[in-house]
Structure 1
Amino acid sequence: MAGETYNENSDVLAILFDLDNTLIQTRNGDSRACNKLVEILDQQYGLPSEAAAESATNFLRAFRARPDDDSFAIDEWPAHLWRNCLPKNYRHIAKSISAEWLKLRFHYLSLTPDVIHLLETLREDYLLGLITNGPSRAQWQKIQRLGLRKYFDCVLVSGDLPWEKPDQHIFLEACKLLNVEPRNCIMVGDKLETDIKGGIEAELGGTVWIPLQKDEESSDLPDFTIEKVTELPEVLPNSPKLKRSAGAADNIKTC
């Protein structure tokens, strides 16, 4: 665990979280879903394992590059990608495979019990906000399917707004909706170039980094570095005065 301290002159009243690869393990979960689909394609549909692996790899690459397309219904877009990635004589199963993909994906992306406990415990003492970059429908689909909304006092998706992280305005908007000053908020996320840089430029009270790769380095140094989000309480201030502020909570606007 690296870092020094938060702004000593500021009470921490709110915690802003990133979503993907911070609260949910998106990259790992999507990879696990595709690995399972390789087995399904081989064992249930008779697609040779090498071709199945190639199809799944191509699908995941295409999906990560473009997780949504507004010209398709939200659940039809993955089916379209599978249709393009499967061998020609297997394209008729694209809709079925896409349904399996969505089922497996949200199974592997579900909040773990320890993360649920973390959020429930933190919400007793702090205001919680969620700030996530990405297309509106794709991000809200995750938020809704995983039942995340109830854990947060405010949720901001960049696809709904004129800014995305690291633009300081999206962090300041979250502070505004929570009715707290930026110096009273901390940002927790996995990306130095968006979560940490943006938190610093918005002059938040502190930043906590959860690197995907341990060898990542940047001049935008976070206040703390932890290995997983459940370690967050270890670096939070432990003062009685830092309890959830009734005054701040009174005027929260939902978003």
Structure 2
Amino acid sequence: MEDCGISVILFDLDNTLVDTAGAGKVAIHKVSELLKNKLDRANISDICEQFGHKLLKESFNPSAGQTIDEIRINHWHEALQEAGGVDPGRDLASECYCMWKTTRLQNLSLSPEVLALLDDLRHSYKLVLLTNGDTQTQQEKIEAVRCEGLFSAVVVGGEHAEQKPAASIFTHCFELLGVKPQDCIMVGDSLDTDIQGGFNAGVRATVWINKKGGSPPENTMMPDYTIPSVLDLPNVLANLR
């Protein structure tokens, strides 16, 4: 690809390069099947929905003495108690978590099309994977999709004092590669973390992956470019030349 004044592309991971949401749905279905064989009259869908809510609101502090695995076993334990109305014990909660985690990781992958895109881009740009989240969780995903070799740098938010949208973690990326913010673009699916973070850090452009369509909600950061899939990124790069 021709030079367009950009030397670095920062990529988010979840729901940008890999379909984490889709893998999560498959994992929840597997847990539902497990629970149908374990519980007689429990509302399985409510249990799974409760777990999903707890996952979204999750706040993990590694210095608090619990691992992320223990925290998420607790999510399942609480969901079973709250939605099921009984306490089937932590053994079942552990079994649910193991099934959910294993299935989700097994269903995470770079599609052949995304893999080909990254392989093409890395011949013209330095690629950086910049992902928020707990260190263990994100490293397990990176290992599962076998993508680390495609990037000049991999930066996981949980390993730093601040995560996206804080400018500091972007500055860390710039310093790693010896580039300026204007040399970079940020590509991601989250307006609150990826797009706001790119703006905070002063990158050349922000690219929002909007798979659902529609306009950004009010009072959110407006991206410079909006595309339905990361596969459309070459069109943005061509426009930036």
Fold-level match, TM-score > 0.5? yes
Partner of 1:248: none
- Structure 2: which amino acid aligns with 1:221? M
* CA displacement 1:107-164 (0-9 Å, x = unmatched): 2332222222222221122100011222333322322333232221112222222222
Partner of 2:88: 90
TM-score (norm: length of structure 2): 0.83
Q: Runs ≥4 in structure 1, deviation > 4 angstroms?
A: none
Residue correspondence of structure 1 range 33-48 to structure 2 within 5 A: 33-42=27-36, 44-48=37-41
Deviation at 1:210, TM superposition (A): 0.9
TM-score (norm: length of structure 1): 0.79
* d(CA) in 2 for partners of 1:127, 1:115: 16
Would you say the 8 A contact 2:68–2:134 is kept in 1? no
* d(CA) in 1 for partners of 2:110, 2:60: 22
Would you say the 8 A contact 1:10–1:184 is kept in 2? no
- Please tell me the root mean square deviation across aligned C-alpha atoms, in Å: 2.6
Q: Is 1:51 equivalent to 2:52 in the alignment?
A: no
Partner of 2:21: 27
Partner of 2:226: 225
What secondary structure does 2:186 align onto? strand
Q: 1:80 to 1:198 in 2, by over 3 A?
A: closer
Structure 1 window deviating more from structure 2 (115-124 vs 67-76): it is: 67-76
- Structure 2: which amino acid aligns with 1:203? G
Q: Could you say which structure has the greater relative contact order, defined with CA pairs below 8 angstroms and 6 or more residues apart?
A: 1
Q: Is 1:198 equivalent to 2:191 in the alignment?
A: no
* CA displacement 1:65-121 (0-9 Å, x = unmatched): 227564334434332322222243533322222221111111233222222222222
Q: 1:66 to 1:193 in 2, by over 3 A?
A: closer
- Structure 2: which amino acid aligns with 1:143? I
Would you say the 8 A contact 1:208–1:224 is kept in 2? yes
Which structure 1 residue ranges, 5 or more long, are not aligned?
1-8, 243-255
Which structure 2 residue ranges, 5 or more long, are not aligned?
none
Deviation at 1:46, TM superposition (A): 4.6
What secondary structure does 1:20 align onto? coil
* d(CA) in 2 for partners of 1:221, 1:238: 18
Q: 1:176 to 1:89 in 2, by over 3 A?
A: closer
Partner of 1:147: 146
Identity %: 35
Deviation at 1:54, TM superposition (A): 1.3
Partner of 1:80: 74
